[in-house]
Amino acid sequence: MNGLRKRMAQDLVLAGFAERTQQIYLHAVTDFADHVGQSPAASGQEQVRAWVQHLSERRLSAQRMRQHFAALKFLYAKTLGRPEVISFLSWPRDAPGLPFVLSAVEVSRLLQALREPKYRVFFTLIYATGLRLSEASQLETRDVDSARGLIHVRHGKGRKERLVTLGARLLGTLRTYWQFVRPPAPWLFASSRGTHVNPEVARCALRHAAARAGLDARVTPHVLRRCFATHLLEAGTDLRRIQVVLGHCSIRTTARYAQVSPEMISKTPSPFDRLDLHPLT
């Protein structure tokens, strides 16, 4: 498996995939190999179908399923040159409906349920800035510009850099965390091995915190990013500014958050209010 993993890693680099995408694909393929108990090179469509069934039973989101499928597709179509093994795969679509968002009170409960200071501050930062999980996990201390009140995101989606706000309260939280934890340089959030914090370990910590807080099992790091955008909208921040902070290429993506803000919807006036009607008698 190590040799195959190395070949796939080389192919991903040659194909120009982002570092985070490479990690996701390699991790997904390792999970697959562990599940079938043999190297993917020795596996065929029967083993892949069993793996797909296993993923379905885990009730992963459509996005997570697509990541696993994309990893298998790359492995068999590119690295192993056996595209027929994954020819039956169809890309899962997101279920219709409104995105899941927590209230401000629920966000507070969730953050307080994170017992380890590192993860409490880590997810506090995600909620306070709207960063993606991969972006927050790779932050370095030099990225925190306290003088200008900004955080420099160097590892954005599509390798794009951007700036996000650093409020006084978040800065104070980060300083207290730094004095207490002292993560190894250059990382703002580090693993026990001295590398940047493992996104999957952080995801697991959030899942356990959600359970302790009695919240919906759908709580993920991306939900906190949604909460950031939705709560900004409710506070009156315009869509264009939120689009820039989130790093969205299209404002249509940002506009989706307007659909899940109960406060905004409740404050929308009805044309009925302007009608000149006599009251019922």
Q: Which residue's entry shows tokens 């169809």?
A: 90
Cα 18 off chain centre by: 15
Angstrom distance (rounded) from CA 205 to CA 113: 10
Q: Is 222 a catalytic residue?
A: yes
Q: Is 208 a catalytic residue?
A: no
Q: Which of 157, 162, 203, 256 is catalytic?
A: 157
Q: Is 68 a catalytic residue?
A: no
A 10 A CB-CB count for 32 gives 22
Q: Which residues pair with 8 in a beta bridge?
A: none
Q: Which of 20, 68, 120, 132 is catalytic?
A: 132
Q: Is 248 a catalytic residue?
A: yes
Angstrom distance (rounded) from CA 133 to CA 143: 16
Angstrom distance (rounded) from CA 203 to CA 198: 9
Q: Is 27 a catalytic residue?
A: no
Angstrom distance (rounded) from CA 214 to CA 173: 25
Burial code (b: 16+ CB inside 10 Å, e: under 16) for 119-139 equals bbbbbbbbbbbbbbbbbbbbb
Phi, psi of 153 (to 5 degrees): -95, 110
Q: Is 257 a catalytic residue?
A: yes
102 class by beta-carbon count within 10 Å (0-12 exposed, 13-18 middle, 19+ buried): buried
Q: Which of 120, 225, 226, 231 is catalytic?
A: 225
Nearest to 107 by CA among 258, 215, 269: 215
Nearest to 107 by CA among 9, 192, 223, 195: 223
Q: Which of 27, 49, 248, 256 is catalytic?
A: 248
Catalytic residues: 132, 157, 222, 225, 248, 257
